[in-house]
Each structure stands twice: as C-alpha cells, then as structure tokens.
Structure 1
Amino acid sequence: MRKYKHIKTVLLMFVLIFTVACSEPDIEGYIIEIDEQRLLVAEDISIEKYEEIKDKTVNEIDRLSGHISLINLSYDDSSTFEKGDNVRVWIDGGIDESYPAQAGAKKIEVIE
C-alpha cells in the first residue's frame, strides 16, 4: 500500500509541474517602444491598429478614439526584441493600474 501512496504523490507532483509550466500568457500584443530593460506593449490589437499607432506617443495613443491598453514591462533582456514584434507575455507579480499600466515580465516570447 505504501508503494501506491508514493506513486500517487509523484504523479500529483508531475501534474502540478506540468500545469505551471504550460500556463497561458497573461497578455498578447505588439511592442511599441523598447528602452533599456523596458518594453511598451499595446495589448490585444490587430496588425492594422499597430500600423496606425506605431509612430505615435503615449499621449497621442491615449487620445485616439477607442482606448488602447498599453503596458510598460520591465524585463532584463529587452535587447532581444524589436519594435513591432507580436509577443506573448507572462507577468511576474501584479500589474500597477496606471496609464500605461506597469508590470514585471517573467517571460516574453515572439509570436511567429
């Protein structure tokens, strides 16, 4: 009986690890600006909307009709990305509700 209890514990651990490792991204969007260790991302927009706002300032984007959600992400390796990249982002901790919102990113991947 003890053997089966041990097997159940190991299986439960694998399920938990798999669930955490395969978690869904918190946001998807296009990179608008890149600074040292910081990315500005416009969330949930089409490529057409990105083309419309890509050269605008945050204030100009804010004044556009139809609010566009922006988030400043701190990320240690922002140099691996380019303006215009379509990305998936996993947030590390909470999101500071400002405009643009602010958060730390634990993982960012480019959508091909």
Structure 2
Amino acid sequence: MKKHLLLILIVWFTLVGCNGGNAEKGRVDIKGIIKEVDYERNKILVEDKHEGLVWVTLQENEDISEYLEGQEVVVWIKGGIRESSPAQADALNIEFTNPKD
C-alpha cells in the first residue's frame, strides 16, 4: 500500500511540476500583423494566416500605446479563441517579432 501511495505522489508532483512556470507560454496561438488598434477598448486586431482576423484584448495593466498598425506580434491566448466575425480572444502574453528585411 505504501508503494502505491508513493508512486501516486511521485506522479502527482511530476504532473504539477510540468504545469508550472511558463508552461502556458509554450505554444504561440496567433502570429500576425496588427491591422487596427482600438485604444478605447484596449484591444488590437491581428491578422493570422491560420486564424484570420482576431480581436485580442490586452491585459488591464498593459500599455496599448506600444502597439501600432503594421507591427508583427506573437500572441499567447488565455482561454481560447471565441468564434465571431472577427474572432475574439484574451491575451495571456504578447511579444513583438523582429521584422525580416
């Protein structure tokens, strides 16, 4: 019985350890060009070649003035992409990519 309990604890700690830190930031959900910036609603419209147009709502503490039309960004989504036209999502993290000249 003690061996089974020990095995369960080891598996549990392994799974919890793998889910911590920046695990959510592993896979990029959207990569594309900013097509529009909505300063009033604190969101940007990103065109991704796979997802199409997606309104991405920034986190409350994020400064929207950093974002300009034409910039390329990668976006990690919190939750999922909600279906609408255009689609909508909440940003977990947004980073700028370097332009390829």
What is the Cα deviation at residue 28 of structure 1?
0.5
The residue number in structure 1 matching 2:36 is: 33
The residue number in structure 1 matching 2:18 is: 15
**TM value normalised by structure 1:** 0.62
Q: Percent identity?
A: 33
Report the aligned-residue RMSD: 2.7
- The answer to whether residue 73 in structure 2 is matched with residue 87 in structure 1 is yes
- The answer to whether residue 101 in structure 2 is matched with residue 101 in structure 1 is no
Q: Whose helix fraction is larger, Structure 1's or Structure 2's?
A: 1
Q: Whose strand fraction is larger, Structure 1's or Structure 2's?
A: 2
Match 2:49 to one of 40, 44, 47:
44
Structure 2 unaligned spans of 5+: 1-5
The residue number in structure 1 matching 2:3 is: none
**Contact 2:25–2:76 at 8 Å: present in 1 too?**
no
Residue correspondences, number? 87
Structure 1 unaligned spans of 5+: 46-67
The residue number in structure 2 matching 1:52 is: none
Match 2:53 to one of 41, 62, 70:
70
SS in 2 for 1:79: helix
**Contact 2:35–2:46 at 8 Å: present in 1 too?**
yes
SS in 1 for 2:77: strand
What is the Cα deviation at residue 74 of structure 1?
0.8
Note closer, same or farther for the CA distance 1:43–1:20 as it changes in structure 2 (3 Å cut). Answer: same
